[in-house]
Amino acid sequence: MRIFNLIALNNIKGDLFGGVTAAVIALPMALAFGVASGAGAEAGLYGAVLVGLFASLFGGTPTLISEPTGPMTVVFTAIIISMLAASPENGMAMAFTTVMLAGLFQISFGLLKLGRYVTMMPYMVISGFMSGIGFILIIIQMPALLGYASPGGGVLGSLHALPELVARLQPHETGLGLLALAILFLMPKRFQRFVPPQLLALVIGTLLAVFVLGSGAYRAIGEIPGGLPSIQPPSFSADQWQTIVVNALVLAMLGAIDALLTSVIADSLTRTNHDSNKELIGQGMGNLASGLFGGLPGAGATMGTVVNIQTGARSALSGIARALILVVVVFGASALVEVIPKAVLAGIAIKVGIDIIDWTFLRRAHKVSPRGALIMYGVIAMTVFIDLITAVGIGLFVANILTIRRLADLQSEEVRLIGQPSNKNETECENALPEEKKIILDPSNGVAMLCLRGPLIFGAAKAITRQRSNLAGVRSLVVDMTSVPHLGVTAALAVEDTIREAVQQGCNVYLAGLNPQTKKRFESLDIDDVVPAENWIAKRVDALKQAVSDRARLSK
């Protein structure tokens, strides 16, 4: 029954055509990412099939195409390198266990309803680590483009070996890679509607290699195991657990962000709304299955999704059809795939890396926000030369500190004490009624009003505390909360201290305009111990009148 709910019966033709087109695009990408990761071309194919199938069956975005992506491949490549270095005999099993655990984390995110929070990150941080991943993908594919296997050591190892590799590059293989890049960059868009440039580059490059260069003159993918993939059971020891968990969390978060951002793009094209939590569960099941069978981790792929929708897809049938077509390749066409040159796949992967880089924001970041630009450049540098965890962690910390500082400055502007002898400027009461202004600006009343506006969190606490020194000589204090929709704990404690100090100085305090949230907050702080219930007044003007009346009564 579930499968029929996924199919739009009035759009079967469009869904099938979208699935076929997405499969055509997915094949060269899956092969390129499989080879780039070091897990083998078959790992890319298995990932494209399993992640795509399960995400389509159980995800929350019907038209989303899920498969191994550039960002996920870059992170997984780093995981493979580090785990093989730590444990050569068990490293690959650990890496695929990491993929499975990442899938379980994504399922947990969905079950805990965290979908709406996953993409709540500053844009400069997202842009920075995505661009950094793009640079990594380009750098680690340069040796393959020049005709050599990866020298190892990740980005730094590739950069260190690059001068020597350039000096003795393999012209035939480099030519094939550059030809692939030329096709990808120069193919007119009007032709791309009929033939995906990735597939054209793959076919032309392979035909030239096979019929012009001949076997042995270039490095090919090589034998791909046919039939069903073998299960990769979880295998790790206690001392390896921490490494696997940390890497799995990174992989899960990156995949969740990648998928949900692509879901937003799909929504904008189809004018629908995806289910973020359901999508995370589908992505998690796909990655769990992919890791179990030795496939690459995956996420929502922007290119495949856009092409899928543009060619008529409107339901998950397109993603299912795409996965089944790739299954046919795995079972029946592996011999055709084995002769594909690695240099051509390197060219395709490098083009993906170039597309991942956020060139638009890079060009204008310094104009939009110099501080934001510095954060973005720092995240890029740390992503490329250190690691993604450090880059995102430090980037988020710095970005949030700057945001908090700005919010604190803005909130400080909304905290004012008016009516005290040192500050009688009428313009500060411009939002007050004439009757209220008359009371506040009459020095004989001895009434001051602490005006608070906007949602008040810990950034406003310092500004509230500063007003305590201005309470000398004030006989009645009205705390105006009319325009405060939310009062945080730290700000509430600052208001409490101000009120208690005013009461100790012999000042009558009145609370005006409390909403249910602010009232509950003050009740939890036992403010009624010093501000009696009759001084909790709904309207500001009534609180001011009550202050004048009480002062007049006490003066008699």
Q: What pLDDT score was predicted for residue 280?
A: 96
Q: Which of 86-90, 477-481, 546-550 is modeled with the greatest confidence?
A: 477-481
Question: How far apart (Å, rounded) are the C-alpha atoms in residues 388 and 447?
Answer: 56
- Confirm if 395 and 126 have CB atoms less than 8 A apart: no
Burial per residue of 7-42, b for 16 or more beta-carbon CB atoms within 10 angstroms, e otherwise: beeebeebbbbbbebbbbbbbbbbbbbbbbbbbbbb
Specify the CATH superfamily of domain 413-555.
STAS domain (3.30.750.24)
Question: How far apart (Å, rounded) are the C-alpha atoms in residues 384 and 129?
Answer: 9
pLDDT category, 102, cuts 50, 70, 90? very high
The encoded tokens of residue 427 equal 């313009």
Question: How far apart (Å, rounded) are the C-alpha atoms in residues 33 and 21?
Answer: 19
526: left (phi over 0), alpha (psi -120 to 50) or beta: left
Taking residue 243's Cβ as centre, other Cβ atoms within 10 Å add up to 17
Q: What pLDDT score was predicted for residue 111?
A: 95
pLDDT category, 471, cuts 50, 70, 90? confident
Q: What pLDDT score was predicted for residue 148?
A: 87
Residues near 324 by beta carbon (within 8 Å), at least 6 away in sequence: none
The encoded tokens of residue 556 equal 């008699």
Question: How far apart (Å, rounded) are the C-alpha atoms in residues 489 and 426?
Answer: 32
Question: How far apart (Å, rounded) are the C-alpha atoms in residues 24 and 133?
Answer: 25
Is pLDDT of 7 > 70?
no
Domain positions in the chain: 11-218+232-403, 413-555
Residue that has been written with the tokens 């359901």 in this structure: 278
Q: What pLDDT score was predicted for residue 322?
A: 92
Task: Report the largest interatomic distance among the alpha carbons of the chain, rounded to a whole angstrom.
Answer: 111
Least confident segment among 199-208, 217-226, 243-252 = 217-226
For 222-247, write each residue's pLDDT tens digit.
777 766 666 666 666 667 778 889 89
pLDDT category, 432, cuts 50, 70, 90? low
Range 319-333 average pLDDT = 85
Phi and psi, residue 483, nearest 5°: -105, 25
CA trace torsion 303, 304, 308, 310 (10° rounding): 10
For 26-78, write each residue's pLDDT tens digit.
888 899 999 988 888 889 999 999 999 999 999 999 999 999 998 899 999 98
- Confirm if 97 and 57 have CB atoms less than 8 A apart: no
Range 365-384 average pLDDT = 89
Is pLDDT of 425 > 50?
no
Least confident segment among 22-31, 127-136, 147-156, 478-487 = 147-156
More confident residue, 408 or 283: 283
Q: What pLDDT score was predicted for residue 426?
A: 42
Q: What pLDDT score was predicted for residue 53?
A: 94
pLDDT, the chain, mean: 85
Q: What pLDDT score was predicted for residue 378?
A: 92
Range 506-527 average pLDDT = 91
Residues near 7 by beta carbon (within 8 Å), at least 6 away in sequence: 15, 315, 316, 317
Range 365-388 average pLDDT = 87
Range 501-519 average pLDDT = 91
Is pLDDT of 218 > 50?
yes
Is pLDDT of 541 > 60?
yes
Strand arrangement, sheet containing 447-453 = 415-418, 447-453, 476-483, 508-512, 536-537
Task: Give the DSSP letter of residue 295.
Answer: P
Residue that has been written with the tokens 């956020």 in this structure: 358
Name the nearest CA neighbour of 65 among 358, 335, 271, 316: 316
Question: How far apart (Å, rounded) are the C-alpha atoms in residues 248 and 240?
Answer: 12
CA trace torsion 228, 234, 236, 242 (10° rounding): 120
The encoded tokens of residue 284 equal 């998690």
Name the nearest CA neighbour of 345 among 220, 222, 223: 220
Question: How far apart (Å, rounded) are the C-alpha atoms in residues 250 and 261?
Answer: 16
Q: How many residues does the chain have?
A: 556
Taking residue 199's Cβ as centre, other Cβ atoms within 10 Å add up to 18
pLDDT category, 135, cuts 50, 70, 90? very high
Least confident segment among 114-128, 354-368, 372-386 = 114-128
Name the nearest CA neighbour of 123 among 251, 298, 257, 248: 257
Question: How far apart (Å, rounded) are the C-alpha atoms in residues 254 and 335?
Answer: 34
String of DSSP letters for 469-505: GG-TT-SEEEEEEEE-S-B-HHHHHHHHHHHHHHHHT
Query: Exposed, middle or buried: residue 553 (CB in 10 Å: 0-12, 13-18, 19+)?
Result: exposed
Is pLDDT of 144 > 70?
yes
In percent, the amount of the chain with pLDDT more than 70 equals: 93
Residues near 33 by beta carbon (within 8 Å), at least 6 away in sequence: 44, 47, 68, 69, 70, 73, 296, 349
513: left (phi over 0), alpha (psi -120 to 50) or beta: left
Q: Which of 75-89, 94-108, 300-314 is modeled with the greatest confidence?
A: 94-108
Is pLDDT of 104 > 90?
yes
Global pTM reads: 0.77
Name the nearest CA neighbour of 137 among 351, 295, 297: 351
